[in-house]
Each structure stands twice: as C-alpha cells, then as structure tokens.
Structure 1
C-alpha cells in the first residue's frame, strides 16, 4: 500500500498536535480537532499503517501515537505551508536589526532574536573572512616607527594589527603606503590577496621598499592567516523548556554546544548557499546531538553567502514556525550587510 494524501494529512495532524500538546495523539482527538472528513475507524486504520511503516509509534500501552524521526522527516519534506511571521513580528525584526551599530552588534542581535522567536538554541556564524573582500585599509600613526593597520571587509568585519617598523616612517610615507595598499587591494577577495601583496613589494620604490616589506608581512597575517571562524550562541537556557523531550540528561547536548567546531558543522557547509537545511535526530551524526533537530541556512549580501545561521532544538519542534523565523532573519541580515 502506498502513502496517500489522506494518510499524509493524518501524519501531519499527529505531528501538529504532538508538537502543540506534548501528549500522545489518539484517533478520537484527531477527529475532533481536524477536518479530515473520515471516521475514527478509518483514521485508526491509517494510524496502523503509519505505525507499521515506522512514521509513528506508541510510547506505551493504551496510549495514542507520537511521531518518529522518520515521521518528522516526511512531515518536513512534504511541508506545503510555512507559518509566516506576523506583520508585527516582521516589523519588530526589521527594527531590532536596523538599530545595530556594527557587525558585532548585528551578530549578537541576530542570535538573541532567533533564540527569542523560536524558543530554541540559536547559532550565528560571523561572516567568514575567506569569503570576504577588502573594503578599506587604514594606517594610523601610534608612535615613531609604529602604526596601526585597520582592515575593513565588505561584510563589515574589522581587523586591527600593530605594525612595528625598524625605523620611523614619515607622515608623507604613511600617506603613500595607505594609497598604494588601497589601490592594489580594495575589492580583492581575501583569498586572492597574497599575489597582490607580493606585487606591492616588487613595485615599491627603493626608498619605500623596506617599509612596504614590513607592512606586507602584517598584511599577509591579517588578510590570509586569520582563518578561524567565529560563532555566536544564545538561548541554551531554552533547552530546559524542552527537558522532557530529551531522554536522559541535557549535559551531552550542552557539552556538544560548547565546541565551536561542532556548531560550525551543525550549520553545514555554506557552499550549499542560502538553501534551507534541516537535519532531524540521527541525521545529526554528532555525539550528544542525535536527539535534536537543526534548521539552518546561509546568509550574505547580494545573493552571496558569507556565513550561516540556525537553531537547535528537540525533534518535537514547530518546524513551520522555525523555518519561517530562520528564513526571515537570514533575509534581513543579508539586506543589512548589503547596505553597509
């Protein structure tokens, strides 16, 4: 027997009721709560089929049924309606993110907002340096022979480095160095800067070459060697709201969420673009997180993808609402980056 539309409707109703009530769902409650257009006997037959196929299970004798991870997966794959945020919620999201003063503020506001909207654990990856381009390089004199190099990327990240020269550099030479490095590097992807930096040294005048050689070393460290990714996390306390959804202790989940490499893996490869990614239960092959679901997507300006964001929660998750929140927040963050 194949899975028909009515059985999908029954599964959808079971998932929705169980997410809402956290109580096993019986045929009588399905009849009373949902306009399925069939008798409770027919629904019982459909539930028997769904149980036999592994989409629902009976947690204990004489109880209703609850979805399995396989059932949640089918529910998500066949999801036809995403619960949109209300107009008031969308305005609040826009206003809250628009008030951010810099990239750090954008990220911290985003992760707090996602945690509040979904009542789950929220994770936001800072824009990846490897996917960023140089917007501006500034040189600021601090003392004789010492300058501060400030790099601003097109994604709003700001990196600062101290440059110690073997001899003092005149104000005129500082202006020349600033002009040369900006002419050569602005608009260049960070991963493509090493050859341009070498060209800066080769093309410098003999008088300026020692200073440019020193500066190029720090430029390489700033533009190329800063490979670590940064992650922001919020809402871990929300796990306690769902403690009954997790068998055993919350400790393995909390320990896993402390590892940045785990969080990056949860967000998935951002090479996949802004496509929504949902992993359920055992699909998360990270120790301690096989009882969770993750909803994530990429974000970035003008259709590019520079980072990822998402939420982690129990498999008994409001998937339509969570998907809407993740998509909406990602879209607004992308718009903010495009404006900067």
Structure 2
C-alpha cells in the first residue's frame, strides 16, 4: 500500500522525468519539490515505490524512472487536470470554426489536437448506425459523366463521379434522381443500403433508364457501405520520429497501427471510460495490440451517444495532466459543434 507521501514522491518523479528525460534522484526531489523531509527519507520512500514496481532504475547507481504501473497509479490519482490557457482554448475554437462538413471538422480536430499536445491525434467518425440519408443529388456533367452526392443527417457527405453506359438526356437524369431519392431519402443508412440491395436483386427492364438507375444505385450502395464502416482520422505521425528516443524499441509497430487503423479502432473501442468520459491505456496494458510502448488517451464525444472517441497516441513518457485536459477540451468543442449542427437541421 503506497502512502500519501509516497504518491507525492511518485508524482514528483513522473513530472521531473517527463520534463527532463533524465532519471530522478532523491536529492533532485528534495531540491525541486520542498517536501520538508531529508533526502534519506525520500530515498526510503523511493525504495518502497521500487518494491511496489512503480519506479525502476534504468542502470546501476542512477536515479529512478516511472514504470508503466507507476504511470497508471499516477494517472489514477490525478487530483485535477492541468487547465489549458486562454490562448490554447482560443486556438481550439478558432481552428474548429465554420467547418465545411463533418470530414473537414474531423480533419481540423486532429490537426488542432496534435498541435496542442505534440502527439499523434486520432478521432473516430461518429457511429452512423442511427444516421439517416437526408439528401441525394444526381447531376449530369456532360457526356456519360455524372456526379452522385449522398448526404446524411449527421453531416457526412459523399461525392463520387461515375460514368454511365450512355449519355443521359434531361428527362432520364431527373427520373433516375427521383427514383434513387425516393428509394433512400429519410431512411437510416442501414435501411437505405438494404433497399438498394433489394432493388439490385430484382431483374430490371433492361432499357436505358433502368441501366442508368442500376449504375447509380450500385454506387450509392457502395457509398452507404462506406458510411457504415468504422473509420479514423489521424494527424501527427511525424511526431513519433521526433520522439523516437522515448521508445525502448522500434516505433514500427506504432506506424503500422496508424497505417492499418484496425488495431487502433479495436483498442479505442475497448478502452473503459471514467465518469467524465476520459480513458487512458498505458504501456503494457496495450500489449495484446502490439503497442506495449505506447499510451493512448481518449475522451468520448458526440451528442448522439455513439461513444465515438477523440484522443492521442504517444510514448508512455508524456505530460498526462496537460494532454488529458487538451483531449477533453477538444472533445467538448467537437461535441458542441455537432450538437449545434444537429439543432440547426
């Protein structure tokens, strides 16, 4: 059982190690943190922390550094998050202001978060299980080219250029647009996808209008399937190279996880949030995902209650209080913007 002063010593070691990247000794703790006790007493506290495997010596006759277990205890006993400055909050608000659509908003979100934290920023798309198709547009661009646009009530927009087997006239364009719109508009993404699948399963008339309808319907089906897939948006992968010294081994597993996304999607979906919607997974807790040298900090967002998350990925040696505050603040702004957009519809 760690004493109250032991927790304070652990906190001092974490803070100093994050600040300096150097192992922390008892004399440094006495000099910097003014515990009001001798270096010998601090050494005794450190010995107890080492017995609990919360700190370790990286080599003989050195100071101590936090272990993954030590970081976990530190995070679990955080009295409060380090508040963001007014300038940081203003930067988030400015960065996320007036996005074009949901895709643009999420790209801005990760760019803002990686600038605030210096870590890899990650955001999940909100769940579209309850999203509905609000609008479908079918525009003839000339020749056989058409553009097909599908919009959901959650702000997701798909735009795709396609080629028909022939050049449609105005009546054919309007008729196909009306048929597709009546088929999917107002339906959930799942039901709309099923309606298109049912249409394509039935043998058609085989005339020009039917051929155009089926071509457009297949593309709409593909876009709806894309809407239903879990996706991540990320920024800041280059920060891993700048922090390579914070990893004992190779950063390749992290780069691979960023590239393939599936691992991070699984990890973020399995993280357990506290009563504030914050979740932290540290070091060896990520071993089953191949990310045993990384920490992931995340916060839930989205007023629809879909449990989508925004967060950061980085080395275990990071500024947890500040980074958690940044993640929470960005999630708050993102939720508010989505809520405002929902009310305006």
TM-score (ref. length: structure 2): 0.81
Structure 2: unaligned runs, 5 residues or longer: none
SS at structure 1 position matched to 2:79: coil
SS at structure 2 position matched to 1:49: helix
Structure 1: unaligned runs, 5 residues or longer: none
Q: CA deviation at 1:92?
A: 1.1
Corresponding residue of 1:337: 338
Q: CA deviation at 1:113?
A: 1.6
TM-score (ref. length: structure 1): 0.82
**Distance in structure 2 (CA, Å) of the matches to 1:180 and 1:227:** 22
Q: CA deviation at 1:217?
A: 4.3
**Distance in structure 2 (CA, Å) of the matches to 1:218 and 1:286:** 38
Corresponding residue of 1:157: 156
- Relative to structure 1, the CA distance from residue 74 to residue 306 in structure 2 (aligned partners, 3 Å threshold; closer, same or farther) is closer
CA contact (8 A) 2:271 2:279 kept: no
Q: How does 1:1-340 map to 2 (within 5 A)?
A: 2-130=1-129, 132-143=131-142, 147-161=146-160, 171=170, 175=174, 178=177, 182=181, 185-197=184-196, 210=210, 216-224=217-225, 227-269=228-270, 275-285=277-287, 289-300=291-302, 302-305=303-306, 307-340=308-341
Q: CA deviation at 1:69?
A: 0.4
- Relative to structure 1, the CA distance from residue 188 to residue 307 in structure 2 (aligned partners, 3 Å threshold; closer, same or farther) is farther
**Distance in structure 1 (CA, Å) of the matches to 2:84 and 2:314:** 19
- Relative to structure 1, the CA distance from residue 339 to residue 185 in structure 2 (aligned partners, 3 Å threshold; closer, same or farther) is farther
CA contact (8 A) 2:133 2:192 kept: no
- Relative to structure 1, the CA distance from residue 320 to residue 173 in structure 2 (aligned partners, 3 Å threshold; closer, same or farther) is same
Q: CA deviation at 1:329?
A: 1.2
User: 1:263-322: CA deviations, max 9, x gaps?
Assistant: 32343359979832211111113565211111123332x243374332111111100111
Please report the RMSD computed on the Cα atoms of aligned residues, expressed in angstroms: 3.5
SS at structure 2 position matched to 1:316: coil
SS at structure 1 position matched to 2:309: strand
CA contact (8 A) 1:120 1:239 kept: yes
Please say which of residues 153-162 and 267-276 is displaced more in the overlay: 267-276
